[in-house]
Chain A
Amino acid sequence: MAQIFHHSTNTIARVSIYGAVLLLLLLGYTVDVVNNSSYVTEVHNARPQPVPFSHKHHVGELGLDCRYCHASVEVSSSAGMPPTQTCMTCHSQIWTGAAMLEPVRASYRDSVPISWTRVNAVPDFVYFNHSIHVAKGVGCTTCHGPIAEMNITWRQESLYMRWCLECHNAPENYLRPRSEVFNSFYRAPKNQQELGLRLMKEYKVQKLTNCTTCHR
């Protein structure tokens, strides 16, 4: 009787069997890649803003202190976003005519707030507190990246829990002296390890990894 299957079927069968295994592995890998891609994490995606505010200019070139705008960073969970008022303290004097700043002036004029696009966000079930991190010697740029070089602000880190734990498990690798916290040009010293360990003692830094530290 006639052959049902062509000879090649054997090969096809083998290939598909081994292929299936490979395919599964590949799938897992892809998921991981996608999860860590900037598509999902938004890392390094400069977000368009109503006003093209440049940290590079204000922080990097003019050397404004972070706290000038993010005023509540030392006292509250939220670092605080500057009210239009804050922008106008300077921009009622300089660049008063700049078209780029029209939205700011408009906002001030008509008392309509500017709605910025959020760059760094954690899910609602995560309760992050800026003030305590700052108080314990975690620098702004440790999480927010080289802010002084960002023309349009982007997210530097994935903000995944995995990432948070890197520091919560080993703070010594990231801590800096309190005096340097708001220094946007800070570079970790060679002896970060020992410095970190010293600061941990000095600032009574704990390795808080229990869940309710962040989730409530």
Chain B
Amino acid sequence: MATENKNGGRPDVDIATLRHSAREGNTPRFWRGLDELAGTPEFRDHAENEFPHGANDPNATLDRRELLKVMAASAAFAGLTGCTKLPTQTIVPYVREPEQIIPGKPLFYATAVTLGGVATGVLVESHMSRPTKVEGNPDHPGSLGASDSFAQASILGLYDPDRSRAEVHDGRIGSWPEFQTELTAALAAAKITGGSGLRLLTQTITSASLAAQIRKFLKAFPSAKWHQYESVGRDNVREGARIAFGEYVNAVYRLNRVEVVLTLDSDFLTSGPGSVRYAREFAAKRRVDGAESIMNRLYAVECTPTNTGAMADHRLRMRASEIESFARALAREIGVSAAAGPGSSSSAPAEWIAAVARDLKQHAGASLIVAGDQQPPVVHALAHAINQKLGNFDKTVYFTQPIEESPIHQWESMGELAADIRAGKVTTILILGGNPAYDAPVDLGLRELLPKVKFSARLGMHEDETSVLCHWHIPQAHSLESWGDARAYDGTITVMQPLIAPLYEGKSEHDFLAALNGQAEKPSHDIVREFWLAQKTGIPRFDAFWEKTLRDGVMAGTAFPAKQVSLKLGIGEQPPAARPQGLEIVFRPDPTIWDGRFANNGWLQELPKPLTKLTWDNVAMLSPKMAQRLGLKSEDAIELKYEGRTIVAPAWVMPGHADESVTVFLGYGRTRAGNVGSSAGFDAGWIRPYATPWIGAGLEIRKTHQKWALAATQTHNSMEGRDLVRVATLDEYHKNPKFAQADVVKNPLSLYPEVKYEGYSWGMAVDLNACTGCGSCVVACQAENNIAVVGKKEVMIGREMHWIRIDRYFEGDLDDPKTYHEPVVCMHCEDAPCEVVCPVMATVHSPEGLNEMIYNRCVGTRYCSNNCPYKVRRFNFRLYSDWDTPSLFGMRNPNVSVRSRGVMEKCSYCVQRINAVKIEAEKQDRSVRDGEIVTACQQSCPSEAIVFGNINDPNSRVSKMKAKNLNYSLLEELNTRPRTTYQARLRNPNPEIEKAAAV
């Protein structure tokens, strides 16, 4: 249990401490790593304190504010009137009021956030021109109104106090003009050789306008080279397509037409382009209403447990390196000629494959094989081949031209760059975004090579590992601060518009390239607009078109059309290379930190990883069997030796992980991420060589007899036989549709008269059959309700503040359990145990059935939390909300109080949204329409698992959900009468396999 262990000797840094220290100015402006930061007294307190659960907390320092609080307290004691007199405030109106802006009314702007270049369309809420909340854009094909946790958290990325604020020239503060002069000089020098020795390194680019700028630049410097690199790239997907079709194409799935899905180590429901949309389409095919309704079926063959695997009706755990053999075996079953896979695919029972193949064939044209980004190209090729054989092309999957402006093998591109630098061919390198010094293949030695380049400049949001190795660091503008454009998973273009002027005079990639092209003075808006003006010559009234594009957040008709592809023959016929022997190591992006780019985002750091429920750390994941063999327990610090490099990592025993295989997650062990992310976790990249980006063999493990304390938000994984998540197979459901309501108490006895709820009465329904556990709702809630980040130590004690948590339970076989996700918000019980025990009526019931929590009345006895059977209440044990860092003020939702120390808080059903809508409705003298009030969690949920509304209206969506047979409430027997109810989970297993398993 995480909370039982002491911190493994490794000083772990608490955001707030360092925030604090940075704030107090006792931190050097450019601190080199944490050792230097460690100079702060707070930090020393950390390092020295032998009581991990003790008072070694940021807020432990008695600073001015604390003293004032104590004084205020004593004042209150004395006069009982300490806080009633308000300080004198001032009102500062505009001089000239801008249009549209009405004080107190938010505006929404359509733009997009990108990950790996792929755009998710969003609407950004802006209060008095302060962006405060990101929401999905319903008109955007990649969003449909929902969004993933990364998009939700991007708002914190914008206000991140650790963002670099100034140009840095060799460790000293420089300036943009100064840089330009140096740049022009460098370019002039390069001109002579036509730019040989000139290198441009970017991430994946889907922005046509940016690409145009780059091409312009390359025209000017013909022999210059443009490299693209993402450490978590999609090379295998692209190469797979090339093997299959002889060209790069982009596969787009139509899950709304799929009856049977088979994933080969793919987490298509929660990561990768289009995942948000796929999750919704997939969930839609699983919704059952009538007694005879049917569901789609999901087979997952995977090594590392993923959310997709957790959703699967049949999950086959298998070493990542064996999946190729599986694919080949399946291909042959289906009738695609393929050489037998290397070694024995023992872990894939023949009858299993046969059964799956039969099922797939039965659903020819309505089935789909999805290969995971980390699987080798041939697996992707085979997947394509099988899909084609099953006649799925143009039905459940279609192909378009690549969405990347210049699709290349990025991994090789980076290798080439490194080689050129080593060979001394590179005199000037310009790095746009990314963080190669941290995440480039370790044995390319980029960290040693970069300083060798004569002139190197880096455009980045943080002054990070790469920046310090470059001569120049230029602060980059956040995507919410700059103009641009990007393509969605299907090619749809979104023109990105800034929500706010760059907070720290950051430059966008467009600005940077403009500077390269000698147009430094040209605003990026003009660059983007003019580019599209040139593209859309056909359009009569471009202004109107432009306005519409900006307003809608999508450029009409830019989705790529389906493209005819011809499958090459004899894919996978050449026998594969023998699989290298030895213990397997699998590299995967971290579920919440991705490749490390979000390392300094407190929301994502504290967002529990969907399946481990870990926060603030990455782990080396291995199966229970293997752990037993090696005598390892979770939180043992182990030494991983691979390809001659070793790193110490915390072990994590993961039920459902393939045996004799270890998964490590990238993105951690950052040294210069910022006050939040630096020194969290270990750098798996350190043992990730060029040869094996994803799957390798020959790992050695050594036990160190040290502990590495981890902060998990859920430490108990069994349901203890309590029917918290109610599950049945589709057949069982058909036989007994009311299985979920077996123990419903018809009319429970009560001494109190029945309370009637007139007018509105709010309720929520959560569909466990749809929830993928992605965690987007958690971050959305955090953003909407100004929920504080507490840091690793506090999470270890058990003090995380999330209002919505996703419980994750395992059921069955320890080695290969079934996994269930169950989002838990406040149940807003009609007979709420918390309400009666509060001595000051700080939590009471509203006439609309809301269980209200009044922070400013709360005295903090915590009895309500003790008495809450669902434990959804969260307490400010310390001053968790950051009241000092100015850059964070702008981020807060002005309609929700920022909680202070010593008060209880909990899910309010987003009452601020309820009230806002009600007020508008009242003013229009009508009643609130169904679906008009959308809670933050519901809004962000990709699979529409959460529905909120008025349960007094029989026609509301929520009422209909609650009317279903599957509807049940948690801990019903307590007669708390929750307003939040659940839709039981259904599985749709393949009878054949089920029988086989039974035998």
Q: Which of B11-19, B243-251, B381-389, B907-915 contacts A (4 or more CB under 8 A)?
A: B907-915
Partner of B89, one of A86, A118, A204: A118
Residues in B neighbouring A100, C-beta threshold 8 A: none
Residues in A neighbouring B856, C-beta threshold 8 A: 123, 125, 215
Residues A40 and B855 in contact, CB atoms below 8 Å apart: no
Residue of A nearest to B98 (CB): A83
A35–B79 alpha-carbon span in the complex (Å) = 9
Q: Which residues 89-134 of A have a CB within 8 angstroms of B? A: 107-108, 111-118, 121, 123-125, 127, 129, 131-132
Question: Cβ of B95 < 8 Å from any Cβ of A?
Answer: yes
Q: What are 8 A-B interface contacts by the 8 Å CB criterion?
A: A40-B81, A80-B93, A80-B102, A81-B91, A83-B95, A131-B923, A212-B911, A215-B856
Partner of A111, one of B90, B95, B852: B95
Residues A85 and B80 in contact, CB atoms below 8 Å apart: no
CB distance from B357 to the nearest CB of A (A): 56
Question: Cβ of A211 < 8 Å from any Cβ of B?
Answer: yes
Question: Cβ of A213 < 8 Å from any Cβ of B?
Answer: yes
Known: A34-B81, A76-B104, A113-B94. A211 touches B852 (CB 8 A): yes
Known: A72-B104, A75-B105, A85-B95. A215 touches B922 (CB 8 A): no
Question: Cβ of B535 < 8 Å from any Cβ of A?
Answer: no
Partner of A40, one of B85, B93, B925: B85
Residues in B neighbouring A123, C-beta threshold 8 A: 86, 856
Residue of B nearest to A77 (CB): B104
Residues A85 and B104 in contact, CB atoms below 8 Å apart: no
CB distance from B325 to the nearest CB of A (A): 57
Residues A124 and B922 in contact, CB atoms below 8 Å apart: no
Residues B95 and A124 in contact, CB atoms below 8 Å apart: no
Residues B84 and A132 in contact, CB atoms below 8 Å apart: no
Residues in B neighbouring A113, C-beta threshold 8 A: 92-95
Question: Cβ of B193 < 8 Å from any Cβ of A?
Answer: no
Residues B895 and A115 in contact, CB atoms below 8 Å apart: no
A40–B915 alpha-carbon span in the complex (Å) = 31
Residues B897 and A204 in contact, CB atoms below 8 Å apart: no
Residues B90 and A115 in contact, CB atoms below 8 Å apart: yes
Known: A123-B856, A212-B850. A132 touches B922 (CB 8 A): yes
Residues B81 and A31 in contact, CB atoms below 8 Å apart: yes
Q: Mark B844-859, 1 if CB is under 8 A from A, else 0.
A: 1011101010111100
Residues in B neighbouring A127, C-beta threshold 8 A: 895, 912, 915
Residues in B neighbouring A31, C-beta threshold 8 A: 79-81
Residues B92 and A107 in contact, CB atoms below 8 Å apart: no
Residues B95 and A108 in contact, CB atoms below 8 Å apart: yes
Question: Cβ of B96 < 8 Å from any Cβ of A?
Answer: yes
Question: Cβ of B919 < 8 Å from any Cβ of A?
Answer: yes
Residue of A nearest to B900 (CB): A125
Question: Cβ of B103 < 8 Å from any Cβ of A?
Answer: yes
Known: A35-B84, A76-B103. A115 touches B96 (CB 8 A): no
A85–B97 alpha-carbon span in the complex (Å) = 8
A55–B925 alpha-carbon span in the complex (Å) = 32
Residues in A neighbouring B915, C-beta threshold 8 A: 127, 129, 212-213, 216
Residues A78 and B95 in contact, CB atoms below 8 Å apart: no
Question: Cβ of B896 < 8 Å from any Cβ of A?
Answer: yes
Residues B93 and A35 in contact, CB atoms below 8 Å apart: no
Question: Cβ of A193 < 8 Å from any Cβ of B?
Answer: no
Residues A215 and B855 in contact, CB atoms below 8 Å apart: yes
Residue of B nearest to A39 (CB): B85
Q: Which residues 835-876 of B have a CB within 8 angstroms of A? A: 844, 846-848, 850, 852, 854-857
Residues in A neighbouring B93, C-beta threshold 8 A: 80-84, 113-114, 116
Residues in B neighbouring A35, C-beta threshold 8 A: 81, 84
Partner of B897, one of A47, A76, A124, A132: A124
Q: Mark B551-587, 1 if CB is under 8 A from A, else 0.
A: 0000000000000000000000000000000000000
Residues in B neighbouring A111, C-beta threshold 8 A: 95-96
Residues in B neighbouring A84, C-beta threshold 8 A: 93-96
Q: Which residues 920-938 of B have a CB within 8 angstroms of A? A: 922-923, 925
Residues B844 and A117 in contact, CB atoms below 8 Å apart: no
Number of B positions contacting A (CB below 8 A)? 41
A117–B896 alpha-carbon span in the complex (Å) = 25
CB distance from B83 to the nearest CB of A (A): 8
Question: Cβ of A135 < 8 Å from any Cβ of B?
Answer: yes
Question: Cβ of A3 < 8 Å from any Cβ of B?
Answer: no
Known: A121-B89, A125-B856. A211 touches B105 (CB 8 A): no
Residues in A neighbouring B895, C-beta threshold 8 A: 127, 216
Known: A40-B85, A210-B847. A76 touches B92 (CB 8 A): no
Residues in A neighbouring B908, C-beta threshold 8 A: 212, 216
Question: Cβ of B750 < 8 Å from any Cβ of A?
Answer: no
Q: Mark A30-63, 1 if CB is under 8 A from B, else 0.
A: 0100110001101000010000000000000000
Residues in A neighbouring B89, C-beta threshold 8 A: 117-118, 121
Q: Given A40-B85, A123-B856, A204-B925, output 4 extra A-B contacts at Cβ < 8 Å.
A: A34-B79, A84-B95, A85-B96, A121-B86
Question: Cβ of B88 < 8 Å from any Cβ of A?
Answer: yes
Residues in B neighbouring A108, C-beta threshold 8 A: 95
Residues in A neighbouring B92, C-beta threshold 8 A: 113-116
Residues B103 and A78 in contact, CB atoms below 8 Å apart: yes
Partner of B919, one of A124, A125, A131, A210: A131
CB distance from A40 to the nearest CB of B (A): 5
Residues in A neighbouring B95, C-beta threshold 8 A: 83-85, 107-108, 111-113
Q: Mark B67-85, 1 if CB is under 8 A from A, else 0.
A: 0000000000001110011
Residues A118 and B911 in contact, CB atoms below 8 Å apart: no
A16–B453 alpha-carbon span in the complex (Å) = 89
Residues in B neighbouring A112, C-beta threshold 8 A: 95
Q: Mark B89-121, 1 if CB is under 8 A from A, else 0.
A: 111111111000011110000000000000000
Known: A78-B104, A216-B912, A216-B915. A204 touches B86 (CB 8 A): no
Residues in B neighbouring A117, C-beta threshold 8 A: 88-91
Residues B90 and A211 in contact, CB atoms below 8 Å apart: no
Q: Which 6 A-B pairs have the closest CB atoms?
A: A78-B104, A81-B93, A76-B104, A77-B104, A210-B846, A83-B94
Residues in A neighbouring B912, C-beta threshold 8 A: 127, 216
CB distance from B892 to the nearest CB of A (A): 11
A157–B799 alpha-carbon span in the complex (Å) = 42
A215–B857 alpha-carbon span in the complex (Å) = 10
A112–B850 alpha-carbon span in the complex (Å) = 45
Residue of B nearest to A159 (CB): B86
Residues in A neighbouring B850, C-beta threshold 8 A: 210, 212
Residues B79 and A211 in contact, CB atoms below 8 Å apart: no
Residue of A nearest to B918 (CB): A132
Residues B919 and A132 in contact, CB atoms below 8 Å apart: yes
Residues in A neighbouring B919, C-beta threshold 8 A: 129, 131-132
Residues in B neighbouring A75, C-beta threshold 8 A: 102, 105
CB distance from A196 to the nearest CB of B (A): 18
Known: A31-B81, A132-B923, A204-B925. A72 touches B91 (CB 8 A): no
CB distance from B76 to the nearest CB of A (A): 12
Residues in A neighbouring B79, C-beta threshold 8 A: 31, 34
A65–B925 alpha-carbon span in the complex (Å) = 25
CB distance from B904 to the nearest CB of A (A): 13
Residue of B nearest to A127 (CB): B895
In this complex, the member of A108, A127, A211 whose beta carbon has the largest number of chain B beta carbons within 10 angstroms is: A211
Residues B96 and A118 in contact, CB atoms below 8 Å apart: no
A76–B919 alpha-carbon span in the complex (Å) = 10
